[in-house]
Structure 1
Amino acid sequence: MSPTDPEIISDEDDLFEHYRIVADKGQGAIRLDKYLNLHVANASRTKIQNGIEAEAVKVNGNITKASYKVKPFDVITLSLPEPPRDTEILPENIALDIIYEDDVLLLVNKPAGMVVHPAFGNWTGTLINALVYHFQSLPTGRNGEGRPGLVHRIDKDTSGLLVIAKTEFAMSFLAKQFFDHSIERTYHTLIWGEPKLERGTIIGNVGRSAKDRRVMDVFEDGSQGKHAVTHYEVIRSLRYVSLVKCNLETGRTHQIRAHMKHIGHPIFNDPTYGGDKILRGISNGSYKTMVENCFSLLPGQALHAKSLGFVHPTTREWMQFDTELPPNFQSIIEKWDSYVKYQ
């Protein structure tokens, strides 16, 4: 790789692309925006300029203007929304639970069971299909394809908040906050068992399992995967299960699900990480019936993206949003509460 070849660094969500470019020793003076247009594939001039304005581009670790003249051996880093790689997305008239909207962004409360963006096996019925129908001009990166407005994502069977960008600048500005881990993300989850500590921090690299690429493993020694930190606090202990609040310091794929399994407390009804089996209590009688009734109320893991906080792209004010647990999630907690009280 020559000094000016961009080194693509995969990010935590695979929704952004991160570059590190070193200008060669014979580089003549050229504006930063023009230099990047020459060295970053498939990035329009507008996308580059928005990235610079959103402070997602740095030279030698410093925020820099578009007019900066690139010099030999300058180290330029970028974190930009990933260029789309998917096929054309068809609009579908799917209802959206929009809890906030303005000129540059909107907040959606996604139901469990809805896939966020089209992919193999889920080409229709996704959040993105719905967004394309309801909003005609969401930023996509190029060619009107890909993941319109999508800055982050949550798993199919996880419910809760997602922020959607309505302009290219908002997309770059929000993407930088996710990359910098300055976004506040709180999840509520029901886990099997009661942790020994009512609050704590789980630190362990998260990466794909060598045995099953659909599953994420935790690597405490840091030999594989990506750095991941989850802060948790028990909200309610229900003897066999616990309602837990999780704050993400990082946002790796399946982070909470993998971390909770790692400490011996898989998420309730999580089929990927073993939580869809009775892991506490007996496996027969009325208890078994009650647990199976709870399982039947959820399409998958009991995990809800409850709150989201970030700096607004244009007002620069901190915005904080919160949602209630879905009715079926609340019903499960009530069932456990009643069972524990009368046993």
Structure 2
Amino acid sequence: MSVPSFEAVGVDPDRLRVVVAESRDVGERLDRFLAARLPEFSRARLQALMRQGAVRSGGRTLEDPAGRVNAGEIVIELPPPEPAEPIGQNIPLVVVHEDEHLIVIDKPAGLVVHPAAGHADGTLVNALIAHCGASLSGVGGVARPGIVHRLDKDTSGLLVVAKNDVAHRFLSAQFADHGRTGPLRRAYLALVWGIPSRPRGTVDAPLGRSARNREKIAVRSDGREAITHWDTLERFPASDAALVECRLETGRTHQIRVHMTSIGHPLLGDDVYGAGHRSKASRLSEPAAAALARLGRQALHAAELGFVHPATREALEFTSPPPPDFADLLRELGTPER
């Protein structure tokens, strides 16, 4: 095995692994090949790293564990170590429902769900540890106790957290199924640029890490299945914008934001995926432009959440109205048409 200069690669050597595949290795299954040469990692861990976009070769991201090996260097960039066990912090929470098995939170925009690089504390997990105490101990892992799904930092709305292992397994199974065969329901409100030509539709487009920018998600033919159903609720001709409801059949990172952008309707306020539509903001009325500036984030809100309770087997449904910044922008966009 030959290892290139870490300085040339520009990565912390403690977080870099390089394997050289020779001609005799060509055609071998990728995860098996790496597991045999990197005994410090389990095969499952290597598969997870691939799906996270951390494995590259020749400028390509290798996301398919079942893919075949080609000759050359395979570079694995490890993510930063998970933070130490999080501590409880007195962060106010809007509790929609709570019992001995679970808690439903209406998360504000700006609150990170769990500790990660750049967000060691001040997260929803820190708030939950303080609020729930020892009941979260050991549930779902040290850094993500009880978390069965997540919302982006700047997405507001409903999120359920398990408070014991039985609830965690039961809820995780529902979210893994994404409502295909069960009652799980997740509906989001999104304000998008442009008025869709159809009242409703479905975006069925696989998603994966962008080959150009690993911080972004993109539609990729070799990505993971991703399906979003959308309905137009209100149209705002004066602002060339619309309010849509999005329902997820899968739960990929940034799914709604990328899917709506892919059909020409990026979210208002989304500087990551909607940068090409910034000029539209200059055509808004002065009050609407001011409301968009105050929003300062993508206009996305998790408005409905429904699932089966892990203990009572009762179907629970929760709704959350848009927060004030979202509602202000909605009001300033003009008189709606349905």
Fold match (TM-score > 0.5) = yes
C-alpha distance in 2, partners of 1:254/1:163?
A: 19
Q: Deviations over 1:18-46 (max 9, x none)?
A: xxxxxxxxxxxxxxxxxxxxxxxxxxxxx
Q: Deviations over 1:125-177 (max 9, x none)?
A: 11111111111124454797211111110000000000010001100110011
5 Å-filtered alignment, 1:29-48, equals none
Alignment partner of 1:129 out of 126, 132, 145: 126
C-alpha distance in 2, partners of 1:142/1:166?
A: 7
Who is 2:319 aligned against?
A: 322
1:137, 1:166 within 8 Å by CA — same for their partners in 2?
no
C-alpha distance in 1, partners of 2:135/2:224?
A: 30
Who is 1:255 aligned against?
A: 255
Change over 3 Å in CA distance of 1:143–1:162 after alignment to 2: closer
5 Å-filtered alignment, 1:177-216, equals 177-182=174-179, 183-216=184-217
1:312, 1:319 within 8 Å by CA — same for their partners in 2?
yes
Who is 1:310 aligned against?
A: 307
Alignment partner of 1:148 out of 145, 150, 159: 145
C-alpha distance in 2, partners of 1:109/1:143?
A: 20
Alignment partner of 2:225 out of 227, 232, 239: 227
Q: Deviations over 1:225-251 (max 9, x none)?
A: 110000000000002110000000111
C-alpha distance in 1, partners of 2:43/2:259?
A: 33
C-alpha distance in 2, partners of 1:169/1:163?
A: 14
C-alpha distance in 2, partners of 1:331/1:142?
A: 38
Greater alpha carbon shift after TM alignment, 178-187 vs 245-254: 178-187
Q: Secondary structure at the match of 2:295?
A: coil
C-alpha distance in 2, partners of 1:334/1:143?
A: 40
Q: Deviations over 1:261-310 (max 9, x none)?
A: 100110000011125853547x36xx363443122221310000001111
Who is 2:265 aligned against?
A: 265
Q: Secondary structure at the match of 2:333?
A: helix
Q: Which runs of 4+ in 1 moved over 6 A?
A: none
Q: Looking at secondary structure, tell me which structure has more helix per residue.
A: 2
Q: Secondary structure at the match of 2:270?
A: coil
5 Å-filtered alignment, 1:45-194, equals 85-139=82-136, 141=138, 145-182=142-179, 183-194=184-195
C-alpha distance in 2, partners of 1:142/1:164?
A: 10
Q: Secondary structure at the match of 1:261?
A: helix
C-alpha distance in 2, partners of 1:153/1:200?
A: 25
> For residue 96 of structure 1, what is the amino acid of its counterpart?
L
Q: Secondary structure at the match of 1:297?
A: helix
Change over 3 Å in CA distance of 1:121–1:7 after alignment to 2: closer
C-alpha distance in 2, partners of 1:163/1:93?
A: 19
1:294, 1:332 within 8 Å by CA — same for their partners in 2?
yes
2:139, 2:164 within 8 Å by CA — same for their partners in 1?
no
Who is 2:243 aligned against?
A: 243
Question: Is 1:300 matched with 2:301?
Answer: no
1:236, 1:243 within 8 Å by CA — same for their partners in 2?
yes
Change over 3 Å in CA distance of 1:272–1:278 after alignment to 2: closer
Q: TM-score, normalised by structure 1?
A: 0.71
C-alpha distance in 1, partners of 2:119/2:82?
A: 15
RMSD after superposition: 2.6
Greater alpha carbon shift after TM alignment, 197-206 vs 176-185: 176-185
> For residue 229 of structure 1, what is the amino acid of its counterpart?
I
1:159, 1:305 within 8 Å by CA — same for their partners in 2?
yes
C-alpha distance in 1, partners of 2:304/2:228?
A: 15
Q: Deviations over 1:158-199 (max 9, x none)?
A: 000000100011001100111111221100000000111110
1:214 deviation in Å? 1.5
Who is 1:27 aligned against?
A: none
1:190, 1:243 within 8 Å by CA — same for their partners in 2?
yes
1:138, 1:148 within 8 Å by CA — same for their partners in 2?
no
C-alpha distance in 2, partners of 1:308/1:192?
A: 25
2:193, 2:266 within 8 Å by CA — same for their partners in 1?
yes
1:110, 1:160 within 8 Å by CA — same for their partners in 2?
yes
C-alpha distance in 2, partners of 1:316/1:144?
A: 25
| Percent of aligned pairs with the same amino acid | 43
Q: TM-score, normalised by structure 2?
A: 0.72
Q: Deviations over 1:96-152 (max 9, x none)?
A: 000101110010000011111111111121111111111112445479721111111
